[in-house]
Amino acid sequence: MKHWAAFFRLIRYPNLIYIALTQFLLQYCVVEPVLRNGGEEPSLSVPLFVLLCLSTVLVAAAGYIINDYFDINIDIINKPDKMVLDKVISRRWAMAWHTLFNMAGVSLGFLVAWKTGQFYLGFTQVICSLLLWFYSTSFKRQVLIGNVVISLLTALSVVVVGFYEKQIYQSFEAILSPNGRKLIQIIGVYALFAFLISMVRELVKDLEDMIGDSKDGCRTLPIVWGVLPAKRFCNALLLALAGIILLVEIRVWLLGWYVAIGYLVLFVQLPFGYIYLQLKNANVPAQYHKVSSLVKWVMLTGILSMIFFKIYL
């Protein structure tokens, strides 16, 4: 039982649930209703969508494992009580699981791509796997590069669902069609939200882990720029997110989705303000960890807002 608990901590199972939930809600609360209202059917059947989702989750799990593998020296300093590798699970087993998950995830990606007649899309998972490897080995130790890579991969977990809908991009006419434009706009907004909020969380985690990162030779943004500039950059991203949500609320107001506006104000915008104040006053790792947890909750409330498309469309 102890080994299983350690294994689930190693693969960051709550984050994997976030990924699966995001793709599920996007597919069945946004893509499917939009297409069916326009008299079209989704390109992905239920079994193929499940395989695509599983593929994404497996590649992400492999990424978390390899990240911990190369972060042992940092974790000894930053979070010794939460370490799994070398305490419960050996490095050899971790590398074996990493390889197995990567192979399974990439294989499933190619299977879905082949079944939908778009074999080239299978390389999406290959690219993700490579980026996660290089993130763990080098990117995360460089100023902003690691943050941008992880944020792009977070956004890609949203966009990849749209990649498989040929109705969106199979022709110029499809892109300009009502369904095509609507899906591109909705998926684009959620991908941008995912990118920016992931950037905030990654930067807050860098602030939290400064001590261990600096001793391991990492050149993260707080270490290179300083704590205050890093916090100001995070707050600028939070303001940008609040601005995007405001634009969405204006659009939603014109559609008469008043309950959705109330939800966004209460569970997304107001928490952004609270996070802004908490980050401004944070000075120690425990406070930064609290901010990181708050950001993660707002990620969840942002994801759950997709339900309103199912209700109103």
Q: What is the pLDDT of residue 167?
A: 66
In this prediction, residues 217-243 reach a mean pLDDT of 91
- Mean pLDDT for 227-256 is 93
> Across residues 58-74, what is the average pLDDT?
88
pLDDT, mean of residues 4-11: 85
6 vs 60 pLDDT, higher one: 60
User: 111-132 pLDDT, tens per residue?
Assistant: 999 998 889 999 999 999 999 9
User: What 3-state DSSP class applies to 308?
Assistant: helix
Q: Which of 12-21, 153-162, 182-191, 208-217 has the lowest mean pLDDT?
A: 208-217
Confirm if 48 and 116 have CB atoms less than 8 A apart.
yes
The stretch 133-162 carries a mean pLDDT of 91
Average pLDDT over residues 205-226: 86
Q: What is the mean pLDDT of residues 59-72?
A: 89
* Rounded mean pLDDT, 24-48: 89
Instruction: For residues 203 and 191, give the distance between their C-alpha atoms in angstroms, rounded to a whole number.
Output: 18
Q: Which two tokens stand for residue 217?
A: 């030779």
Q: What is the DSSP string of 115-140?
A: HTT-GGGGHHHHHHHHHHHHHHHTGG
- Residue 171 scores a pLDDT above 70: no
Distance CA(202)–CA(231), nearest Å, equals: 12
- Tracing tokens 């006419």 back to the chain, one arrives at 173
Which DSSP letter does residue 219 get? -
Tell me what pLDDT residue 201 has: 95
Average pLDDT, the chain: 89
Q: Is the pLDDT of residue 181 over 60?
A: yes
The string of DSSP letters for 147-201 reads HHHHHHHHHHHHHHHHHT-HHHHSSHHHHHSHHHHHHHHHHHHHHHHHHHHHHHH
Split at pLDDT 50, 70, 90, the class of 28 is very high
- Whole-prediction pTM value? 0.92
Residue 312 in tokens: 């109103």
Specify the pLDDT at position 118: 87
pLDDT of residue 87: 77
**194 C-beta neighbours (distance < 10 Å), count:** 23
d(CA 271, CA 265): 9
